[in-house]
Amino acid sequence: MQITLLINLVYIVSAVMFIYGLKLLTSPVTARTGNFISAVGMFLAVVVTLVNGGIIDYKWIALGIIVGGLIGGLFARIVQMTQMPEMVALFNGFGGIASLLVGTATYHSLESYNLFIMTTLFLAVLIGGVTFSGSIIAWGKLSEVISGNPALFRGQTILNGSIFVVALMGGAFFIANPSDGYLTLIGIITLSLILGVLAVIPIGGADMPVVISLLNSYSGIAACAAGLAIENNILIVSGALVGASGIILTKVMCKAMNRSLYNVLFGGFGAVTRKTAVDFQGEVKPISPEDTYYILEAACSVVFVPGYGMAVAKAQHAVRELSDLLEENGAEVRYAIHPVAGRMPGHMNVLLAEADVPYDKLIEMKEINRSIAGIDVCLVVGANDIVNPAAREDTHSSIYGMPIIEVDRSKTVIVLKRSMATGFAGIDNRLFYKQNTRMLFGDAKSSIEAVISQFKTV
């Protein structure tokens, strides 16, 4: 009894650390501390769980810690910042498969069955399987192992719905007949893996930030269900926190992209029918690094708008160096961050943090839009759809209504881009043809370094 009381007390302490750590994660300034506090909480929970394990073979636990630690340490060293979205997708998938395996192992270890445990076990397996296979597809799209374009076919939604219904029917049979449910469980696992694939393949690369946050939520819900199945309080709490925060983040992402959470959950997400956009006439005005220098040298206020192109070019350190030179020249420098810039939530924040950009210089979209008309220069580094005025001007555009950073309202816009290629949405960017826009073509890092060279030599 005393051991049980001690374990539950430690679980409470761990839960408080999780919640406090999650609170600290809401600010870039305190995020690292929050992550550390949450990790310590999980360490305490794992230790007391193992102490209470009784029949656990610690040789396998030790082997798992060593192998997992080596793999984690290796990937932490070799994975590039541009590959972080793919890594997060894999993390979500591993969380899902872990819940699936816990549910399967629990079924095999049960000596008696009851309705509650069998129901939560079924949910852990179903949601865990969907999360795992869906995350693998998301990883494939992000890493370009498979095409990032939506994979659509006739009757797709009906097929997905039918598989889901069959899985639920199988779950009902499994719960009602647990002693004869092994083959049914295998069938449920198979259907969940198929459903995860079919749920993600119709989603295009532009919508991956929302997919990642949604799959993160799924992994938490699966973990919560697994915790209920094995009656582990801390797994229930941690899973519920991940699931709830993931759903909230998904809602924020959907709002930032003018999408519907209903479409995410029921398969229409990312498969938006493209309307015929109104033709937009204009002339592209290229600019050289030398002329870019003269514009920036005279600017009193500069806003950088980073996008996935900055990540690909690994230009964040060059951006920071140029920012320092501009401030030395007397300009006010800030960074406008769109909620879905890049390929995962917070992608640009992570890249800029790697370059030691001060957190207080990162400005959210709504705040920067209120003052953007008074900005001398907006420097768009590899962003595309998140600055496209068609979202505001063209009712026929597929991105119409999507909140954007309204850089076209600033005095001068300089867009750093390799070519005139479209972004993830696959539509032309009206910003490129605006009267106040100049295009600095080339690799973003090389272009910025050329401008930096002008500052240092002129």
Instruction: List, for residues 180-205, the tens digit of each pLDDT value.
Output: 888 999 999 999 999 999 989 888 76
Give the mean pLDDT of 202-229.
Answer: 87
Whether 132 and 193 have beta carbons less than 8 Å apart is answered as yes
Q: Alpha-carbon distance 453 to 458, whole Å?
A: 8
Using CB atoms within 10 Å of the CB of residue 258, give its burial: 0 to 12 exposed, 13 to 18 middle, 19+ buried: middle
Where along the chain do its domains lie? 79-265, 289-457
Whether 217 and 253 have beta carbons less than 8 Å apart is answered as no
Q: How far is CA 149 from CA 142, 145, 196, 255, 391, in A?
A: 11, 12, 17, 22, 21
Q: Alpha-carbon distance 310 to 382, whole Å?
A: 5
Q: For residue range 361-410, what is the model confidence (pLDDT) as tens digits?
A: 999 999 999 999 999 999 999 898 899 998 888 888 777 888 899 999 99
Q: Does 385 participate in catalysis according to the annotation?
A: yes
Give the mean pLDDT of 139-156.
Answer: 83
Q: Which residues sit opposite 417 in a β-bridge?
A: 441
**Catalytic residue chosen out of the listed positions 207, 385, 394, 443:** 385
Q: Alpha-carbon distance 97 to 215, whole Å?
A: 12
What is the DSSP code (8-state) at residue 419?
A: S
- What is the pLDDT, as a whole number, of residue 276? 44
Q: Alpha-carbon distance 319 to 325, whole Å?
A: 10
Q: Alpha-carbon distance 328 to 326, whole Å?
A: 5
Question: For residue 359, is pLDDT > 70?
Answer: yes
Q: For residue range 271-327, what is the model confidence (pLDDT) as tens digits?
A: 444 444 455 567 889 999 999 999 999 999 999 999 988 988 889 999 999 999 999
Res. 55 pLDDT band, cuts 50 70 90? low
Structure tokens that stand for 394 in this block:
């063209």
Q: How far is CA 387 from CA 32, 72, 380, 402, 404, in A?
A: 30, 36, 8, 10, 5
Res. 270 pLDDT band, cuts 50 70 90? very low
Q: Alpha-carbon distance 237 to 211, whole Å?
A: 23
Average pLDDT, rounded, for the chain: 87
Q: Which of 173, 166, 95 is nearest to 129 (CA)?
A: 95
Q: Which of 317, 313, 277, 300 is nearest to 422 (CA)?
A: 277
Q: Which residues sit opposite 286 in a β-bridge?
A: 439
* CATH, domain range 289-457: 3.40.50.1220
Question: For residue 90, is pLDDT > 70?
Answer: yes
- pLDDT > 70: what percent of the chain? 93
Q: pTM for this structure?
A: 0.81
- What is the pLDDT, as a whole number, of residue 10? 92
Which amino acid does the sequence have at 430? R
- What is the pLDDT, as a whole number, of residue 340? 83
Higher local confidence (pLDDT), 21 or 111 = 21
HEC profile for 290-355?
Answer: HHHHHHHHCCCEEEEEECHHHHHHCCHHHHHHHHHHHHHCCCEEEEEECCCCCCCCCHHHHHHHHC
The sign of the CA dihedral 353, 245, 207, 340 is negative
